[in-house]
A and B are shown apart, each in its own frame.
Chain A
């Protein structure tokens, strides 16, 4: 592996991790919206 491979690995993993976390927030928001509808709060 050369220098650029390490660089791309670091940047790629950073964005995978952040993207995964953002996706988790979106899923959680959708689940809460569904629960609110079921409770009749919307």
Chain B
């Protein structure tokens, strides 16, 4: 199992190196925006990965609410944490891209605002998990996760349903949209690399959370044993 983990880590690092080379060197420079457009190759995959992590969080939370399964709870917590990391990257790289292109760092349009709300929802979820104890964490956290996920489709559809400062979709946006084939190649490599990285991080975080759960149980058993010994004495 450990050698499989190491092999996956090496594979992911190689993929990340190659995809960054694709983004910075192989992909052509966009004619209007120039080199700053290459932020696209990190911005879009980060958004994709954050959405996938929140989907896993949503499904795992439903499984927990249904079965009270601690594995599902650990998976939900791990995927939310990694999702927040990638959503933070989206919220940082977006304004850095916007400043030279739009002339502003931020605007309160539907896509940007709903993404910020999404980030706040999942940060609240993590804070709820962090500051509740005594076995009461998983249930309210799962309920919050199920309702919180409602914002994900809104974020995705915002540029289709509303007029926004954020550009209309270039991927899956219908007629008149699309990318240069070399740009497509770079996007796909980066999507693959970021997905692999996110899978690796969720897996490692999940393992740590299961270990924390096992240690909590061991501590509780030891405390119970000490208590019984004290009573017997």
Instruction: Mark A residues whose CB is within 8 Å of B.
Output: 1, 3-4, 6-7, 9-11, 13-14, 17-18, 21-22, 25, 28-29, 32, 35-36, 39, 41
- CB contacts (< 8 Å) of A11 on chain B: these are 20, 24, 39, 42
Least CB separation from A26: chain B residue = B204
CB distance B197 to A18 under 8 Å?
A: yes
Is B127 located at the chain interface by the 8 A CB criterion?
no
Docked CA distance A22–B82 (Å): 10
Near A by CB (< 8 A), chain B positions 127-161 give none
Docked CA distance A27–B35 (Å): 36
- Evaluate whether A10 and B96 lie within 8 angstroms (CB atoms) in the complex, with A17-B88, A22-B201, A25-B204 already known: yes
In-complex Cβ contact of A39 among B93, B96, B97, B219 (8 A)? B219
B226 at the interface (CB under 8 A from A): no
Q: Does B224 contact A (CB under 8 A)?
A: no
Residues from chain B with a CB closer than 8 A to the CB of A6 are: 36, 39, 96-97, 99-100
Most buried by B among A10, A21, A36: A10
Interface residue SS majority, chain A: helix
Q: A9-B96, A32-B208 are in contact. Are A3 and B89 (CB under 8 A)?
A: no
Are B89 and A14 in touch, CB under 8 angstroms?
A: yes
A sample of 15 more A-B contacts (CB under 8 A), given A3-B100, A10-B93, A14-B93, is: A3-B33, A3-B35, A7-B36, A9-B96, A13-B89, A13-B92, A13-B93, A14-B42, A14-B46, A14-B92, A17-B88, A18-B89, A29-B208, A32-B208, A39-B215
Per-residue 0/1 for B195-210: is the Cβ within 8 Å of any A Cβ (1 yes, 0 no)? 0010001001100100
**Inter-subunit contact B219/A7 (CB<8 Å):** no
Instruction: List, in ascending order, chain A residues with CB within 8 A of B38's CB.
Output: 7
Contact of B208 among A9, A22, A25 (CB under 8 A): A25
The distance in angstroms between the C-alpha atoms of A36 and B207, with both chains bound, is: 14
What's the least CB distance linking A32 to chain B, in Å? Answer: 5
**CA–CA, A21 and B43, complex, Å:** 18
Residues of A within 8 A of B100 (CB): 1, 3, 6
Q: B77-100, CB under 8 A of A: which get 1 and which 0?
A: 000001001001100110011011
Answer yes or no: B211 CB below 8 A from chain A CBs: yes
A28 with B96: CB separation less than 8 A:
no
Min CB distance A18 to B, Å, is 7
